[in-house]
Amino acid sequence: MNRKPPRIAYLTAGAAGMFCGSCLHDNTLAAALCRLGVDVQLIPTYTPIRTDERDVSVDRVFFGGVNVYLQQKFRLFRYLPPLLDRFLDHPRFLRWVTSRGLSIDPRELGALTLSMLRGRHGHQRKEVRRLARWLATHVQPDLVVLTNLLIGGCIPELQRVLKVPILVNLQGDDVFLDALCEPYRSQVFEELRVLVERVDGFLVNSRFYGQHMRAYLGIPGERMAQVPLGIQVADFCSLRPPARRTGRNRRIGYLARLAPEKGLHVLVDAFLQLRRQPGYRDVELHVAGWLGEDRRGYAEEQFSQLAAAVPEGAFHYAGVVDRAAKLDFLGQLDAFCVPATYPDPKGLYVLEALAAGVPVVQPNLGIFPELLAITGGGFLCDPGDSTSLARRLGELLRDEDRRRAMGVSGQAAVFRNFSARRMARDTLAVYQRFLPPVTSCS
């Protein structure tokens, strides 16, 4: 007798070729659930996902970004034959388009967002029907999970066709919504409040974000579950917290997309302040991460400022790093900082730095106070304040014993509390509240 594993359809959302925290989270979670014996189909929407681990998503895309945009703008594309739809939604075509610098600006996407949330009543109604038919025919899930509520316009149709519970992760929805312009923002919120009533349950990764989103979208507390983030920690086991180093300068690291909201400019200013103080002339700044064409001017302004103020070698930009290069990058650091200027709901980069044994300095904002309270892996500074950040980085870099103790504490806490396996177990426990009883088959 064999027990039939639960079958989960997990709709994720690609980020136009960019490394995205939600993509990374969804892929890691799906892979870990599969290792627990769960039948998970990770299904991309908009574009293929990008991850530095093995991509476990299916090789197709629903609500292809080019197609839904054209359907929004031109009536003709709402009636294209399936053959042309398949071409526009093909993963290879979408990867080619996004490689050419596709920019997603929420300030320009109000009408499209509203239409997508209207589902069967929006301009992309044929895409909603196509997804529902494919899930019913090829997946036959016991449960559907959405990566965020912004792709939730399909929920009523999925419920009608599949007749299974639907759960929604909340992981940054508010960041996009807050950037929408009126009148679309108010109209979008009206649609979201209707969809909230259709969702069987919500998942969040932190106490902070759960409290925020309950108030933000009016979600009843009993319909929300908290599951801490998790990362694949096995690769980090060979990395050790930095000990006393001789013959090498001290290094501050930044690993995230290069963008104003991630606070690179705050870190650059803090680094330059620190370098001007006695005892810190050896400190270097090492930066890595994805750089979109729309942010190139911003990044080059920061690089020019550094080039004019510090000697060659004191600053290095490593570009986009793959998994092996990421581990090497983190393993060479003495301190880590991504001083985001918004309340980040995830902070995966903090968990990765701590998993490498590198203590962090982060703003007292979003999920960061919660993570540092659990891990003991660093300091908090005042949000958006480069002087406060410079002071905290200085405290960390001048006290080697304390720095190593924080690295040891942070690494142990991540291995214990934030592994992908633990995230998968805790997530499955939430799913099982909504799944039918486990059956047997011969």
Rank 17-21, 68-72, 274-278 by mean pLDDT and report only the highest: 274-278
Domain assignment of residue 216, yes or no: yes
Report pLDDT for 105: 56
> Beta partners for 8?
40, 143
Examine the pLDDT at 172 and tell me if it is beyond 90. no
Q: Say how far apart CA 135 and CA 149 lie, in whole Å.
A: 19
440 pLDDT exceeds 90?
no
Pair type for strands 224-226 and 440-441:
unpaired
> 246 pLDDT band (50/70/90 cuts)?
low
Would residue 174 count as lying in a domain? yes
Residues in contact with 272: Cβ distance below 8 Å, sequence separation at least 6, in sequence order: 305, 306, 309, 310
What is the average pLDDT across 89-116? 78
Tokens of 274: 């620190």
The verdict on 164 and 197 lying in the same domain is: yes
Residue 129 lies in a domain: yes
pLDDT tens string 271-291: 999 999 999 999 999 999 999
Q: Is residue 1 over pLDDT 50? A: no
CB atoms within 10 A of CB 432: 13
Average pLDDT over residues 383-403: 96
My answer on whether 120 and 16 are in the same domain is: yes
Stretch 154-165: mean pLDDT: 97
- What is the 3 state secondary structure string of the chain? CEECCCEEEEEEECCCCCCCHHHHHHHHHHHHHHHCCCEEEEEEECCCCCCCCCCCECCCCECCHHHHHHHHHCHHHHHCCHHHHHHHCCHHHHHHHHHCCCCCCHHHCHHHHHHHHCHHHCCCHHHHHHHHHHHHHHHCCCEEEECCHHHHHHHHHHHHHHCCCEEEECCCHHHHHHCCCCCHHHHHHHHHHHHHHHCCEEEECCHHHHHHHHHHHCCCHHHEEECCCCECCHHHCCCCCCCCCCCCCCEEEEECCCCHHHCHHHHHHHHHHHHCCCCCCCCEEEEECCCCHHHHHHHHHHHHHHHHHCCCCCEEECCCCCHHHHHHHHHCCCEECCCCCCCCCCCHHHHHHHHCCCCEEEECCCCHHHHHHHHCCEEEECCCCHHHHHHHHHHHHHCHHHHHHHHHHHHHHHHHHCEHHHHHHHHHHHHCCCCCCCCEEC
User: Looking up tokens 């999920």, which residue turns up?
Assistant: 367
Yes or no: say if 410 and 20 are a contact pair by the CB < 8 Å rule: no
> From the CA atom positions of the chain, what is the Rg in Å?
23
Does 212 reside within a domain?
yes
Predicted confidence (pLDDT) per residue in 132-145, tens digit = 999 999 999 999 99
101: pLDDT confidence band, cut at 50, 70 and 90?
Answer: low
**pLDDT recorded at residue 107:** 59
Same-domain pairing of 217 and 247? no
pLDDT tens sequence across 55-68: 999 999 999 989 89
Residue 442 lies inside a defined structural domain of this protein: no
**Residue 37 vs residue 102, higher pLDDT:** 37
Determine the Cα–Cα distance for residues 359 and 290; give it in Å rounded to an integer. Answer: 22
| 431 within domain boundaries | yes
Specify the amino acid at residue 48. Answer: P
pLDDT of residue 307 exceeding 50, the answer is yes
The stretch 395-402 carries a mean pLDDT of 93
**Contact predicate 335/370, CB 8 Å:** no
The single residue listed with the structure tokens 């909230």 is 196
Q: Is residue 359 part of a domain?
A: yes
- 60 by Cβ neighbours in 10 Å (0-12 / 13-18 / 19+) ranks as middle
Q: Do residue 126 and residue 43 come from a single domain?
A: yes
Full residue range of the structural domain in which residue 263 is found: 234-418
Instruction: Answer yes or no: is 441 within a domain.
Output: no
Give the model confidence (pLDDT) of 405-416 as tens digits: 999 999 999 999
Are 64 and 201 within one domain? Answer: yes
* Residues 244 and 362 reside in one and the same domain: yes
137 & 273 share domain: no
- Check residue 285 and give its pLDDT: 97
Asked if 192 and 242 sit in the same domain, the reply is no
Stretch 27-44: mean pLDDT, rounded? 96
> Residues 354-388: pLDDT tens digits?
999 999 999 999 999 999 999 999 999 999 999 99
For 22, what's the count of Cα atoms within 13 Å in the CB-facing half-sphere? 30
Regarding whether 166 and 283 lie in a shared domain, the answer is no
Q: What is the mean pLDDT of residues 321-332?
A: 94
Confidence category of residue 14, pLDDT binned at 50, 70, 90: confident
| pLDDT mean across residues, the chain | 92
The strand pairing partners of 336, in sequence order, are 253, 360
Task: Compute the distance between CA of residue 112 and CA of residue 72 in angstroms, rounded to an integer.
Answer: 6
CATH code of residue 93: 3.40.50.2000
Q: pLDDT (tens digit, 9 = 90+) per residue, 334-352?
A: 999 999 999 999 999 999 9
Q: What's the confidence (pLDDT) of residue 441?
A: 46
The total domain count for the chain is 2
Scanning the structure block, which residue is given the tokens 């892929």?
27
Instruction: Find the range with the poorest average confidence among 62-76, 93-107, 155-169.
Output: 93-107
One domain for residues 72 and 203: yes
Same-domain check for residues 73 and 215: yes
Residues 224/204, Cβ–Cβ less than 8 Å: yes
Whose tokens are 């912004």? That residue is 150
Q: Are 380 and 363 in contact (CB under 8 A)?
A: yes
pLDDT band at 82 (very low <50, low <70, confident <90, very high): confident
Please report the pLDDT score of residue 31 as a whole number: 96
Question: What is the rounded distance in angstroms from the CA atom of residue 9 to the CA atom of residue 32?
Answer: 15
Task: Supply the pTM of this predicted model.
Answer: 0.91
Looking at the structure, tell me whether residues 124 and 36 fall in a common domain. yes
Mean pLDDT of 73-82: 90
